[in-house]
Amino acid sequence: MSSSSIDYDYLRSVVMRNSGNQVDPSRDYLFESRLQRLLRDRGLQSLGQLVSALRADAGPGLQRSVAEAMTINETSFFRDTPTFDLLREQLLPALIASRRDTRSLRFWSAASSTGQEAYSIAMMLREHFPLLAGWKIDILGTDLSAEMVERASAGRYQRIEINRGLPARFLVKYLVRSADEWEIAPDIKRLCRFQQRNLCQAPIMPESFDVIFLRNVMIYFPQDTRRQVLLTMHRSLAPDGVLFLGLSEQPRMDSHWQTMLTPKTVWYKPIR
């Protein structure tokens, strides 16, 4: 089947329904490269055959696999350093002071990909806030992709991933060499847990979080989905909690979020 006869409209709609991600038609060529492994695993010869299989099987399994395979999983340790600097220098000291009675802090890395964001938070806490050793710390990472959740839970990284943002002293202190990879040390791992979750279908979280990282995922959503996801975040955040978005993202919901500009970065405060 020639590429012109592949029903890309249909493939785009499968991705949208199952992940909320919009694929611009100018990027249809990505289906070919990203879905190669799925085609091989399913014994399919071409995208045309995949479209036929999707149409024949209305169940969610194959549809979700297509949506997951189309996600962009780019991430790194301590991505956007000023965000972590601000958290360490100003926002966490204030949160710690106001939580001294409950001695508990909850973080949500929403769209956690391979886990570097969650582990960066955990390493920062261990390195700079020794007084939290006796506190209940919960760092939840969630992602649409089962494969990313599995990789994040394993916490094993290759040299190229380590080289992206992880300070050398943290490598020595908080990771252990395992064959040709490095693995997050148990003391850091136990602060973090990872779950598969679709942000577009997320029910309201039962407990509130003190800090939410929702970075570099809303860029893939259409405007109405962004609004929905931001409402979920608003309900899931403590009244004095902190929301971080990716540097190119804004909430555009003036009645719900106060934009807190600092010299090097920005964070969002929920308005009640």
Answer for which of 30, 72, 176, 204 binds ligand SAM (CB under 6 A) is 72
- 63 sits near ligand SAM (criterion: CB under 6 A): no
- 117 sits near ligand SAM (criterion: CB under 6 A): yes
Q: Are strands 181-184 and 156-157 parallel, antiparallel or unpaired?
A: antiparallel
Q: Please answer whether residues 257 and 270 qualify as being in contact, where contact means their C-beta atoms are separated by less than 8 angstroms.
A: yes
In angstroms, give the least distance from the CB of 207 to ligand SAM: 19
How far is it, in rounded angstroms, from Cα 262 to Cα 250? 15
Tokens 């209940």, located at residue: 136
- 94 sits near ligand SAM (criterion: CB under 6 A): no
Q: Which is nearer to ligand SAM, 15 or 175 (CB)?
A: 15
The string over 198-229, giving b where at least 16 C-beta atoms fall within 10 Å of a residue's C-beta and e elsewhere, is: bbbeeeebeeebbbbbbbbbbebbeeebbebb
Helix (H, G, I), strand (E, B) or coil at 79: coil
The encoded tokens of residue 234 equal 């608003």
Per CB under 6 A, which region of 15-23, 58-66, 235-243, 247-255 contacts ligand SAM? 15-23
Answer for which of 47, 92, 166, 199 binds ligand SAM (CB under 6 A) is 199
Q: Which is nearer to ligand SAM, 65 or 216 (CB)?
A: 216
In angstroms, give the least distance from the CB of 195 to ligand SAM: 10
Answer for which of 63, 65, 83, 113 binds ligand SAM (CB under 6 A) is 113
- 75 sits near ligand SAM (criterion: CB under 6 A): yes
How far is it, in rounded angstroms, from Cα 65 to Cα 86? 37
Nearest Cα to Cα of residue 220 among 77, 120, 125, 113: 113
Per CB under 6 A, which region of 84-92, 100-108, 142-150, 151-159 contacts ligand SAM? 142-150
Count of C-beta atoms within a 10 Å radius of residue 116: 25
Per CB under 6 A, which region of 3-11, 28-36, 123-131, 141-149 contacts ligand SAM? 141-149
Answer left, alpha or beta for residue 78, where phi above 0 means left and psi between -120 and 50 means alpha: left
Per CB under 6 A, which region of 2-10, 42-50, 65-73, 84-92 contacts ligand SAM? 65-73
Could you list the residues that contact ligand SAM (CB under 6 A)? 19-21, 71-75, 79, 111, 113, 117, 143-145, 148, 198-200, 215-217, 220, 246
